[in-house]
Amino acid sequence: MFPTLHLGHAGTDRHFNSRRTFRAKVLDVSDATSSVAIPQQSAVASSSQTASGGHVQVNRNNNARNNAKESVYSASTSRNKVHNPKSGRDKWAEGDTTIMPLPFPQWVSAFKWVDKDPARVKMGLVDTGYCFPEPALIVTPVLPEWRKLYCANWLAAQPLWISRVDHHPPSPLPVPQTWCDFLNTIPSALLAANMTTKSAWEKLVAKTLFGQALVHLQGNTWTTQGDVSWRNQRIAITTLEDPPAHLMCCILWEIYELGFCYELLDLDRAMVPGLWTEAPTERTELLYSNFPGESGLVMWQEDMPTTEQGMWAAPATAYPFLESWHKLLSAWPEAPSHLRSPIVQESFSPVVQLDILSSACMFYVQTFFDLFGRPPIVPHRVPM
């Protein structure tokens, strides 16, 4: 008695259909990026299709799509430029600690002492885009209304985007400007946009990359009366203009964790491709064992921790996670000799833990920069 919403394997589409309200789910096989489409369109979008001379609007939109595709290609060719810390925000520096979670000193030290010589960067070996937005981007807007938009868009898109990255990540990955174009987008405005403007082309690039299902999320998400779900709690969008400091800190902490998890995956695949070809299951299990919980890298399914976890926890708890990370890094070319020797559990202590963390963080940051030409997204302290 009800229409079929999804047929096929588990993945992004099934995940979307299991989380959205029934009225927002309609099968649309014409969209290659997602089987979800919203039946209602804005009045402006609908009228542009029925008004006289509608074929001119269609041709204009087609031209805009072509221009957007060209923009995607041009962005992918320029994405491998080495990060210049003198242009714009210094990505090697920590943000406002009154809003953002506190850093671990080992990462701060590694960021300070890493060799940032552009000549070190091996161009073209990895996609230097971002699986997840830079945490600082979420709190960059000064105006409360824009900060609310950025934060609401991220929280609304977060579950579906994580599922997409986990199952079939986009290629190329979004660059910071594309993340910005998506996070400051109001879907109804996107549908009604004048596609002849440069700004509209940039929006179309974001729409093409993130897919219809992410851009056309449930319409009332962006209204002042709407709310979003995050870690089993409902958050009224109106409160995001001036969100509680602890809530904002927790949201940013999660983005740091997500960025680190998936960047570690990408970097490991680039450093030891043979191991991923010869024994993918064993390498995947080793990677997953770096993190607590049983959700693989999809750590957003876990409860928000209240104390430090994984390799950053107390020595008795941290040992197996630090041993996994130690084992993972030891297989990388040019790994320091002290990272190639196994950790003796009987002599494991807070001093040994800090020493290994310091060495591993420095090696990780330098290795990451040598391939990506930018600083990595790294874990931060759990907000208390």
Q: Which two tokens stand for residue 381?
A: 């302290």
**Helix, strand, coil fractions of the chain, as percent rounded to 5:** 55, 5, 40
Query: Residues for the chain: how many in total?
Result: 384
Calpha distance 3→157 (Å, rounded): 25
Left if phi > 0, otherwise alpha if psi is -120 to 50, otherwise beta: which for 98? alpha
pTM, two decimals, is 0.76
- Going residue by residue through the chain, which has 384 residues, state the pLDDT in tens, using 9 for 90 and above: 555 555 555 555 555 445 443 333 322 323 333 322 222 333 323 333 333 343 333 343 444 444 444 443 344 434 444 444 344 678 898 877 788 999 999 999 999 999 999 999 998 999 999 999 999 998 888 888 888 888 888 888 888 888 888 888 888 899 998 898 888 876 555 445 455 566 666 667 766 777 665 555 544 445 556 788 888 788 888 888 888 899 999 999 999 999 999 999 999 999 999 999 999 999 999 999 998 875 555 555 667 888 999 999 999 899 999 999 999 999 999 999 888 888 888 889 999 999 999 999 999 999 999 999 999 999 999 998
Calpha distance 305→344 (Å, rounded): 28
* Nearest CA among 259, 269, 290, 337 for reference residue 101: 259
Residue 88 Cα distances to 83, 142, 249, angstroms: 10, 16, 23
Phi, psi (5° rounding) for residue 202? -65, -40
Which residue do the tokens 């997602």 mark?
Answer: 34
The domain limits of the chain are 105-372
| Radius of gyration for the chain, computed over Cα atoms and rounded to the nearest angstrom | 22
